[in-house]
């Protein structure tokens, strides 16, 4: 598998890096809190104008006709620039409509989503339950355009600025996909009380659509995490080179340089996994094993690099005025998005049942 980018991909990477640099939140002055921020409308408009929302979608539905690899490149630069946007969530919603919707539904909703005219995000998680691709307490009654939804979804990131939601709901013992306009939102909670909805496609198509959409969302967030890690490590190395203690730079202490070297190893493991996953999903959007492997490796690398970056920076790593804490907060949030590390590790472990024998690698 060739991990080398061609000239067009390098040009896309440089263009998105420039865009992200122009919209990076200010990291000084104490007015940027650590942790999830509000949707940056100006950055979102710039992302839409550059065509990044349609990278992974065909030209027939208003996309750019590129692939998951280009989407990953763009998301990496957005993560490096610490942009707070609904990019991954919008990609999940777009893939759900693209795969589950009828031709008429795609024509009605996808072009506006991909050009930024509307913001559609998914509502998948339910309060009090572990992450699951299936719906439990949110139910759907009726068929076609006469469907009503009842129940609560939470958390639903960016629901307060969304024009529509794509909701998973239980119809009998099966999970379907539904579109809701102007949802009733309270923070990150969305409550449905016989709320009118439009069923996207059939119940038969819904499971594959949900799996492919979440895989694409996972690729977007692990790519964003790769960008965050790729920015946090050089910041830490530079600090070790310039900050002095006992009259010498911190980098003069071998133990600290060894810890920085371990961070580099974690970063390269994550980079290889993300690149492999992007290429795997470009070939097969339903390759959930690749998505889970990326989620596990990036979750572990992100926790390692984030925690080490803060510790090696000392007290300033915890301040709101310094970017390394912001990167760590975002890495922590990403680890718990679309299933945490333990959930994906359990899914990979369960797949071992498909093998008659598992050979454990041992050192020679």
**How many structural domains are present in the chain?**
3
Q: Which residue, of 70, 97, 119, is where some domain finishes?
A: 119
For residue 356, what pLDDT band results from cuts at 50, 70 and 90? confident
Inform me whether the pLDDT recorded for 235 exceeds 90: yes
Mean pLDDT throughout 207-224?
98
Mean confidence (pLDDT) of the chain: 92
- Which percentage of the chain shows pLDDT scores above 70? 94
Q: Does one domain contain both 254 and 213?
A: yes
Inform me whether the pLDDT recorded for 88 exceeds 70: yes
Residue-wise pLDDT for 311-339, tens only, equals: 999 988 888 888 899 999 999 999 999 99
Domain membership of residue 18 (yes or no) is: yes
Q: What is the CATH number of the domain that holds 278?
A: 1.20.140.10
Supply the Cα-derived Rg of the chain in whole angstroms.
21
| Closest by CA position to 278, among listed 230, 236, 224, 235 | 224
pLDDT of residue 345: 94
Helix, strand or coil, per DSSP, at residue 218: helix
Q: What is the CATH number of the domain that holds 82?
A: 1.10.540.10
Q: Does one domain contain both 225 and 345?
A: yes
Q: Does one domain contain both 39 and 50?
A: yes
Domain membership of residue 299 (yes or no) is: yes
Residue-wise pLDDT for 36-85, tens only, equals: 567 889 999 999 999 999 999 999 999 999 999 999 999 999 999 999 89
For residue 187, what pLDDT band results from cuts at 50, 70 and 90? confident
pLDDT of residue 21: 93
CA distance 163 to 348: 36
CA distance 150 to 172: 13
Inform me whether the pLDDT recorded for 361 exceeds 90: no
CA distance 266 to 269: 5
Q: At 29, phi and psi to the nearest 5?
A: 100, -10
CA distance 253 to 244: 11
Q: Does one domain contain both 162 and 127?
A: yes
Q: Does one domain contain both 261 and 185?
A: no
Instruction: Note whether 266 and 53 are within 8 A (CB).
Output: no
Estimate to the nearest angstrom the gap between the alpha carbon of 204 and the chain centroid. Answer: 26
Q: Does one domain contain both 162 and 125?
A: yes
pLDDT of residue 4: 85
Q: Name the β-bridge partners of 180.
A: 165
Q: Does one domain contain both 43 and 130?
A: no
Q: Does one domain contain both 95 and 157?
A: no
Q: Which residue, of 204, 239, 265, is where some domain finishes?
A: 204
Domain membership of residue 168 (yes or no) is: yes
Q: What is the CATH number of the domain that holds 187?
A: 2.40.110.10
Mean pLDDT throughout 91-112?
96
Residue predicted with more confidence, 247 or 144: 247
Q: Does one domain contain both 136 and 187?
A: yes
Mean pLDDT throughout 127-137?
94
- Which percentage of the chain shows pLDDT scores above 90? 83
What interhelical angle do 254-283 and 206-242 show, nearest 10? 160
Instruction: Note whether 267 and 233 are within 8 A (CB).
Output: yes
Domain membership of residue 364 (yes or no) is: no
Domain membership of residue 90 (yes or no) is: yes
Residue range(s) defining the domain that contains residue 20:
7-119
Q: Does one domain contain both 273 and 308?
A: yes
Inform me whether the pLDDT recorded for 10 exceeds 60: yes
Mean pLDDT throughout 20-29?
76
Residue-wise pLDDT for 134-185, tens only, equals: 999 999 998 777 899 999 999 999 999 999 999 999 999 999 999 999 888 9
pLDDT of residue 37: 60
> Hey, what long-range contacts does 135-141 have (CB within 8 A, 24 or more apart)?
135/168, 135/169, 135/170, 135/175, 135/176, 136/170, 137/170, 138/167, 138/168, 138/169, 138/170, 138/192, 139/169, 139/170, 139/171, 140/169, 140/170, 140/171, 140/176, 140/178, 140/197, 140/199, 141/171
Q: Which residue, of 173, 204, 235, is where some domain finishes?
A: 204
Domain membership of residue 129 (yes or no) is: yes
For residue 131, what pLDDT band results from cuts at 50, 70 and 90? very high
Domain membership of residue 156 (yes or no) is: yes
Residue-wise pLDDT for 269-321, tens only, equals: 999 999 999 999 999 999 999 999 999 999 999 999 999 999 999 988 888 88
pLDDT of residue 156: 96
Domain membership of residue 363 (yes or no) is: no
Mean pLDDT throughout 183-206?
93
Q: Does one domain contain both 336 and 217?
A: yes
Residues composing the chain: 364
Q: Does one domain contain both 66 and 128?
A: no
Q: List, in sequence order, every beta strand (DSSP E) within the chain.
A: 120-123, 139-141, 147-153, 164-171, 174-181, 185-186, 189-199, 244-245, 248-249
Q: List, in sequence order, every beta strand (DSSP E) within 103-242.
A: 120-123, 139-141, 147-153, 164-171, 174-181, 185-186, 189-199
Inform me whether the pLDDT recorded for 26 exceeds 80: no
For residue 27, what pLDDT band results from cuts at 50, 70 and 90? low
pLDDT of residue 318: 84
């Amino acid at each position: 598998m060739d991990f080398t980018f061609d000239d067009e991909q390098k040009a896309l990477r440089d263009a998105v890096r420039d865009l992200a640099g122009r919209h990076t939140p200010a990291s000084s002055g104490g007015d940027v809190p650590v942790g999830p921020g509000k949707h940056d409308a100006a950055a979102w408009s710039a992302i839409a104008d550059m065509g990044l929302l349609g990278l992974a979608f065909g030209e027939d539905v208003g996309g750019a006709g590129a692939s998951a690899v280009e989407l990953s490149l763009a998301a990496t630069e957005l993560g490096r620039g610490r942009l707070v946007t609904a990019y991954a969530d919008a990609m999940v919603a777009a893939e759900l409509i693209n795969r589950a919707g009828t031709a008429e539904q795609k024509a009605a909703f996808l072009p506006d989503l991909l050009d930024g005219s509307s913001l559609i995000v998914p509502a998948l998680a339910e309060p009090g339950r572990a992450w699951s691709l299936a719906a439990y307490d949110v139910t759907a009654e009726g068929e076609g355009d006469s469907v009503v939804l009842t129940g609560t979804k939470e958390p639903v990131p960016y629901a307060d600025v969304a024009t529509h939601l794509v909701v998973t709901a239980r119809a009998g013992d099966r999970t379907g996909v539904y579109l809701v306009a102007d949802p009733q939102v309270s923070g990150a909670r969305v409550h449905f009380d016989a709320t009118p909805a439009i069923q996207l496609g059939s119940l038969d198509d819904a499971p594959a659509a949900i799996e492919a959409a979440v895989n694409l969302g996972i690729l977007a967030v692990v790519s964003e995490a790769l960008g965050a890690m790729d920015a946090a490590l050089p910041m830490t190395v530079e600090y070790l080179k310039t900050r002095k203690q006992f009259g010498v730079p911190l980098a003069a202490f071998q133990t600290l340089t060894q810890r920085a070297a371990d961070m580099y190893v974690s970063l390269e493991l994550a980079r290889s996994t993300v690149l492999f996953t992007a290429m795997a999903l470009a070939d097969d959007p339903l390759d959930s094993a690749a998505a889970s492997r990326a989620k596990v490796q990036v979750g572990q690398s992100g926790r390692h690099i984030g925690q080490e970056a803060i510790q090696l920076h000392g007290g300033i790593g915890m301040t709101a005025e310094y970017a390394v804490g912001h990167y760590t907060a975002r890495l922590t949030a990403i680890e718990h998005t679309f299933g945490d590390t333990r959930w994906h590790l359990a899914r990979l472990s369960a797949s071992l049942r498909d093998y008659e024998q598992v050979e454990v690698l041992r050192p020679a």
